[in-house]
Structures are given as C-alpha cells and as structure tokens.
Amino acid sequence: MKVVFDTNVVASASFWRGAPFACLVSWAQGNCEAVVSPVLLAEYHETIDELRMDYPKRSPVEWADALTNSAELVFPMERATDTTPDPDDEMVLECALAGEADFIVTGDKKHLLPLREFRGTRIISPSDFLRVLTAG
C-alpha cells in the first residue's frame, strides 16, 4: 500500500505524539510505502525548520530526514491545477498521482479531506489511515 503523507502529518509527527506519529511509526515498521517528491520533501524540511524556531525546547523526531532517505522518490509530470482552493495542496495531489498512491494522509480539513478522493487515491485522516492499517 502506497501513501503520501501531507506536510501537516509529518510536521505534527515530528513534534508531538498521536495519530500522525503512529502513522509514521507504522511506515517505519514497513506496514506501508511512503511516496515523496522533491518539492514535497522541501516543504517538509522548511515547515519543520520553522517549527523548530517556534518550539525550541522540543526535540523533534527526524521524520523528514527518514522520508528523504527511505521513501520512494517520484517526479510528478502531471499537474493538479485548480483541483483545490489552496494551490500549495496541489503538490500533494501531484505526488500521489506520480507515485500511484493508494492514500493521501492529511489533517487538512479545509481543502484536502473534503475532496475524499483524487483520481483513484483516497484522501483520509491519520486516524482513518490507522484503522485501514489495522483492518488490512
């Protein structure tokens, strides 16, 4: 099963516990395959660097580095222009398309989760993804 983790999931898992953290732990244990693109990796790192400044006393788990080193790297060719009101979300959709992902895991209740699906890729929350993993 291939999955694209949205930046909000990776960032949350890096600094806090909970469903996003459990999703990344499940990936690290080999229960799913993560798919990333260069632009998505850059956003992971940028967002986590910003959070490091906001939470200097927290010692983050280096999920962005782990994904950089171990996830399947794809190079999206097709664009997802005007698919979502937030153009920044298009990179997630494009990565899923290029990697033929089964799931996009996101906490974005405003733009991505309402789509529910993008060209055959289900868009679900971290807690729903954990339920899928335990059911399968």
- pLDDT score of 105: 98
Please give the model's pTM, rounded to 2 decimal places.
0.96
Q: What is the mean pLDDT of residues 66-80?
A: 96
Specify whether domain 2-135 bears CATH 3.40.50.1010: yes
Those residues whose C-beta lies under 8 Å from the C-beta of residue 31, and which sit 6 or more positions away, are: 133
Instruction: Tell me the domain boundaries of the chain.
Output: 2-135
* CA pair distance 45, 98, nearest whole angstrom: 21
pLDDT of 35-71, one tens digit each?
999 999 999 999 999 999 999 999 999 999 999 999 9
Burial profile 94-124: b = 16 or more Cβ within 10 angstroms, e = fewer? bbbbbbebbbbbbbbeebbbebeebeebbbb
Question: Which pLDDT score is estimated for 40?
Answer: 98
- Separation of first and last alpha carbons in the chain: 10
Asked if residue 83 has pLDDT above 90, the reply is no
Asked if the model's pLDDT at residue 87 lies above 90, the reply is no
Q: Band the pLDDT of 118: cuts 50, 70, 90.
A: very high
